[in-house]
Amino acid sequence: MINARDLAAKAVEKVTVPPIPYLQGGRSAKGTDCINLVGWCVQQLGGKAADVPRGSNTAWRSVMQWTGTLDEARSQGRLIPGALVYIRDAPTAKWPDGDYGHAGVYVGKQAGWAAEQVIVHASASRGGVYPSTIKNAWTHVAWLECVDYAAKEVSPMPPDEPNPTGQTVQPIETYPALESATPIAVPAPPIRTASIPARLVVTQALRMREAPNSQGKYMLTIPGGSIVEAAAGVNGWYQTQWTANGRTYTGWISSDYTAPYATGSAAVVTPAVPPAAVPPVAIPTQPTVVYVTQPAPEKKPGLFGRIVSAIRGG
């Protein structure tokens, strides 16, 4: 079986500059998508293509030795490097028990990365393979059947996969400290202060949830580049509103993928400037056309006419 920590280390290798592009169905450096990034790593570690099917929903339902919610994984000590993390969206006709449409690899804290960047995934909205935070709407955790999650040491690289850097692979000594499994209490939204931007720009497609945490029920997705109003802030989440299909929703969005609409602690909303008065345009009148009737030119008689005229004395 594949060592779980090897899988995590292999996923970290895929975070490159420039990033590996997002490509639906791809499993190579030319491009990959979320579940095929996992399959690519598994195959490079000696696994088979069938160990990770080409579909995140299919993989969730067919090749996992354990699945559960994020809170269950935390409380049972299963959120460890090499575990897969999932985003479960609302049920669909095809997936009535929920759409497990996006997957990533939990890798733990990495040197040189921000402390909260503990996941590697292929992001369609960002267009490539990037680190992610656990707060970015991840809801579920899964363990692959082909992976040994009890192994503690990193295995040596397979002989057909030379280390491109020539460096020795260092074992990961300890598991990262697990975040508290205590459910996040949802306090009453505070009154917005100057520290909360009045307006925000959504930097990429972002899910709105009913509560200010990744376990909150999914409501809708706000398109990237949209401008929203921030009413309150709790634990890195903003309360806002969004109108879709003629209905206005009030929910919470993660602050990780927003930016102030204007510089400073509070955006300055510039009133709309009325358009400058447009001077009237003189419309030229059409020239008057005068039709002049001219007399028909005199018709000269021909030879026969001239002869007749001479005989008649004309």
Per the structure block, which two tokens stand in for 93? Answer: 């006709």
Sheet holding 227-229, edge to edge: 227-229, 199-202, 258-260
Confidence (pLDDT) at 79: 95
Render pLDDT for 110-150 as a digit per residue (tens, 0 to 9).
Answer: 988 998 999 999 999 899 999 999 988 899 999 999 999 98
Confidence (pLDDT) at 45: 96
**Total count of residues recorded for the chain:** 314
Per the structure block, which two tokens stand in for 137? Answer: 């709407």
Confidence (pLDDT) at 59: 95
- Average pLDDT on 264-271 reads 35
Report the alpha-carbon distance of residue 121 to residue 162 in Å, rounded. 24
- Average pLDDT on 75-104 reads 91
Report the alpha-carbon distance of residue 205 to residue 257 in Å, rounded. 8
Least confident of 89-93, 207-211, 234-238: 234-238
pLDDT at 182 over 60: no
Q: The domain 2-148 is classified under which CATH number: 3.90.1720.10, 1.10.3720.10, 3.40.50.20, 3.30.160.60?
A: 3.90.1720.10
Q: What is the 8-class DSSP label of residue 175?
A: P
Residue 70 or residue 92, greater confidence: 70
Q: What is the 8-class DSSP label of residue 237?
A: E
Distances (CA, A) of 202 to 199, 211, 234: 10, 18, 17
Render pLDDT for 152-162 as a digit per residue (tens, 0 to 9).
Answer: 554 444 433 33
Where along the chain do the CATH 2.30.30.40 domains lie? 199-260
Q: Give the pLDDT band of residue 230 (cuts 50, 70, 90).
A: confident
The fold of 199-260 is SH3 type barrels. (2.30.30)
Nearest residue to 32 (alpha-carbon basis) of 11, 7, 58, 61: 11
Q: Which residues contact 161 (CB under 8 A, 6 or more apart)?
A: 44
**Are the CB atoms for 26 and 32 separated by under 8 Å?**
yes
Q: Give the pLDDT band of residue 31 (cuts 50, 70, 90).
A: very high
Report the alpha-carbon distance of residue 110 to residue 118 in Å, rounded. 7
DSSP SS3 for 239: strand
Burial class (CB in 10 A: 0-12, 13-18, 19+), 260: middle
Distances (CA, A) of 49 to 37, 41, 81: 12, 10, 21
Residue 293 or residue 118, greater confidence: 118
Alpha carbon 279 to its chain's center: 46
Q: Which residues contact 172 (CB under 8 A, 6 or more apart)?
A: 5, 8, 9, 81, 108, 154
% of the chain residues with pLDDT over 70: 68
Confidence (pLDDT) at 313: 61
